[in-house]
């Protein structure tokens, strides 16, 4: 194989040099591109810093505002509660009703104080309107509205939410108009509710042990699982009521005709000698004025 001439060697060296220069140029372009990319990223980060700072400031301001509003509402609820306690002890009917209304606002607006407000209203009724033997003995005559304070308390209790076992026992609350309302969670043991209207009310698992319920309208009410043991049901209307699982043992004044159309099951406990009339008899009774 012949030796390369000097001219050929010069050409090869020239090509090698060109290739080396091209490689260096490519490397330089790549480095410049990387620098531009890095600079762009830093620039983007720097530009977002004021935006993030503004956003953080806005979030802090919103949080502070919400916190201040919550503290204000809590302060208002506390003030209303304290004012209500003072008003309930007032000498005039208007003052006491105003106290009940204030506690009603606390029940609606302040979940943290709701249970205390509910139980305070229940205690108010027990102290202000205690049941008496003389009151129980009174006949149920022409319907007269319940006392204004009593009506105001029951209106406030409608917003009680999930507060249960509210003790309204041993109170005198005759002639309440509570048709279609939710009375679950209220305990009326030994209370006098004579002449009250509870038609189609929700009284599931209601507690009426030894209560005076003369002339009470329970038509169509949900009394499933209710305890009416020992209650006075003289003249009470239970037609169409759901008494599934209810305990009516030892009740007084209850007659079979009062149960016309009532719903019962194997767990319903009736007093001795009292039965639910057959369907045809129930329909006949319901048709009577």
Residue-level pLDDT at 67: 59
Tokens of 114: 């709701």
Quick one: CATH architecture of 174-289?
Answer: 3 Solenoid (2.160)
Q: How many percent of the chain have pLDDT more than 90?
A: 58
Determine the Cα–Cα distance for residues 277 and 262; give it in Å rounded to an integer: 9
Which sequence spans correspond to the domains of the chain? 73-136+143-162, 174-289
Tokens of 223: 């009394």
Query: Quick one: pLDDT band at residue 37, thresholds 50, 70, 90?
Result: confident
Confirm whether pTM is higher than 0.75: no
In 3D space, the residue among 146, 155, 167 whose CA is nearest the CA of residue 104 turns out to be 155
Does the structure show a pLDDT above 70 at 8? no
Tokens of 158: 């409608």
Q: Which of 64-68, 102-106, 168-172 has the lowest mean pLDDT?
A: 64-68
Residue-level pLDDT at 145: 75
Determine the Cα–Cα distance for residues 122 and 103; give it in Å rounded to an integer: 11
Tokens of 191: 């209370």
Do the Cβ atoms of 166 and 184 come closer than 8 Å? no
Determine the Cα–Cα distance for residues 208 and 131; give it in Å rounded to an integer: 14
Place of tokens 């009410």: 221
Burial status of residue 131 (CB atoms within 10 A of its CB: 0-12, 13-18, 19 or more):
buried
pLDDT digits over 223-241, tens only?
999 999 999 999 999 999 9
Q: Which of 48-57, 183-192, 221-230, 264-273 has the lowest mean pLDDT?
A: 48-57
pLDDT digits over 124-151, tens only?
999 999 999 998 888 887 667 788 999 9
What does the DSSP assignment read for the chain? -PPPPHHHHHHHHHHHHHHHHHHHHHHHHHHHHHHHHHHHHHHHHHHHHHHHHHHHHHHHHHHHHHHHHHHHHHHHHHHHHHHHHHHHT-SSHHHHHHHHHHHHHHHHH-HHHHHHHHHHHHHHHHHHSB--HHHHHS---S--PPPHHHHHHHHHHTT-TT---EE-TTBB-TT-B-TT-B-TTEE-TT-B-TT-B-TT-B-TT-B-TT-B-TT-B-TT-B-TT-B-TT-B-TT-B-TT-B-TT-B-TT-BS--GGGGTT-B--TT-B--TT--PPPHHHHHHHHH--
175 C-beta neighbours (distance < 10 Å), count = 20
Determine the Cα–Cα distance for residues 28 and 22; give it in Å rounded to an integer: 10
Q: Mean pLDDT for the chain?
A: 85
Determine the Cα–Cα distance for residues 52 and 231; give it in Å rounded to an integer: 70
Do the Cβ atoms of 237 and 257 come closer than 8 Å? no
Give the CB-side neighbour count of residue 228, counting CA atoms within 13 A: 32
Residue-level pLDDT at 34: 75
């Amino acid at each position: 194989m012949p030796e390369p001439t000097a001219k050929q060697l010069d050409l090869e060296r020239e090509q090698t040099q060109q290739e080396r220069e091209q490689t260096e140029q490519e490397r330089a372009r790549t480095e410049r591109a990387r620098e531009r990319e890095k600079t762009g990223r830093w620039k983007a980060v720097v530009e977002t810093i004021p935006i993030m700072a503004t956003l953080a400031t806005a979030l802090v301001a919103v949080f502070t505002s919400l916190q201040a509003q919550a503290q204000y509402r809590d302060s208002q609820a506390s003030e209303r509660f304290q004012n209500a306690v003072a008003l309930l002890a007032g000498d005039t009917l208007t003052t006491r009703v105003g106290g009940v209304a204030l506690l009603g606002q606390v029940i609606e607006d302040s979940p943290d104080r709701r249970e205390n407000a509910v139980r305070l209203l229940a205690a108010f009724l027990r102290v202000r309107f205690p049941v008496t033997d003389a009151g129980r003995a009174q006949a149920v005559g022409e319907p007269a509205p319940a006392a204004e304070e009593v009506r105001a308390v029951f209106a406030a209790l409608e917003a009680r939410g999930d507060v249960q076992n509210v003790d309204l026992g041993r109170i005198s609350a005759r002639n309440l108009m509570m048709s279609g309302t939710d009375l679950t969670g209220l305990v009326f043991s030994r209370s006098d509710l004579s002449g009250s209207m509870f038609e189609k009310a929700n009284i599931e698992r209601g507690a009426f042990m030894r209560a005076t319920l003369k002339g009470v309208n329970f038509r169509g009410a949900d009394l499933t699982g209710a305890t009416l043991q020992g209650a006075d049901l003289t003249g009470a209307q239970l037609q169409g009521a759901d008494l599934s699982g209810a305990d009516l043992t030892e009740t007084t004044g209850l007659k079979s005709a009062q149960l016309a159309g009532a719903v019962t099951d194997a767990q319903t406990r009736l007093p001795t000698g009292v039965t639910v009339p057959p369907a045809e008899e129930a329909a006949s009774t319901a048709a009577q004025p």
